[in-house]
Amino acid sequence: MGDYINSQDSNTLLSAEESVALKHEFGWSPVGVGDKGSALWHPLDAFSFKAAAKAASTEAADINTPGCYPYFDYQPGTSAHNDCRDAFRHAYWNALMAQIDEVDAASQANAHERSAPNVYSEHYMDLYNNRVGRKLGAAHPSASHKEIADLVKQELSRGGLITDLGQAPTAGAK
């Protein structure tokens, strides 16, 4: 059942204060429906959202924005994790989903975060970039995938995405 509904225990990397901070900032809680549960609640969107995730991963693999790698050497085609490619991937995935249904996109992205126990800064980075992407997708519902990718790249280039865990504020610091 843990794949369908996540309890606070499944996300033990978060303190109570951090959970409250994420709830306040993003309306997100580590408790609730996970990836598989979300797919059951939104079966028609699940296929489109999965395709959007694949497109985002493919497009993100070769993102190379100057100055975006303060701690990592860029290696084309490598997995994107906690860097600007990861920021792009989250924002682009959410933008594509929001073009279909912004509310269901938020639900799916939040469920995905519940299915991946992480430290506070990692959840913050992902949830922040997800929100930026959904705003872009909702604002441009008829844009092509390339146009959406270009909008997300612009957001990345102007510093509008969190690209490093160190950019996430400390819980309760706002």
State the pLDDT at residue 7.
45
Q: Which of 38-47, 82-91, 144-153 has the lowest mean pLDDT?
A: 38-47
For residue range 62-81, what is the model confidence (pLDDT) as tens digits? 676 655 554 455 566 566 67
Specify whether the CB–CB gap between 88 and 156 falls below 8 A: yes
Q: Measuring CA to CA, which residue among 104, 6, 5 is closest to residue 47?
A: 104
Answer whether residue 36 shows pLDDT above 50: yes
Within its chain, how far is the Cα of 150 from the centroid? 17
Mean of the per-residue pLDDT values for the chain?
Answer: 79
**Domain boundaries along the sequence of the chain:** 5-167
Of 10 and 83, more confident:
83
Q: The whole model's pTM is what?
A: 0.80
CB 82 within 8 A of CB 115: no
- The lowest-confidence range among 48-57, 67-76, 124-133 is 67-76
| Per-residue pLDDT at 132 | 98
Instruction: Indicate if the pLDDT at residue 94 is higher than 50.
Output: yes
The phi-psi region of residue 29 (left if phi > 0; otherwise alpha if psi is between -120 and 50; otherwise beta) is beta
> What's the chain's length in residues?
174
Cβ(161)–Cβ(88) below 8 Å: yes
Does the pLDDT value for residue 167 go beyond 80? yes
* pLDDT value for 33: 61
- Burial string for 133-142 (b: 16+ CB within 10 Å, else e) reads bbbbbbeeee
The residue-averaged pLDDT of 31-40 equals: 59
pLDDT exceeds 80 at position 41: no
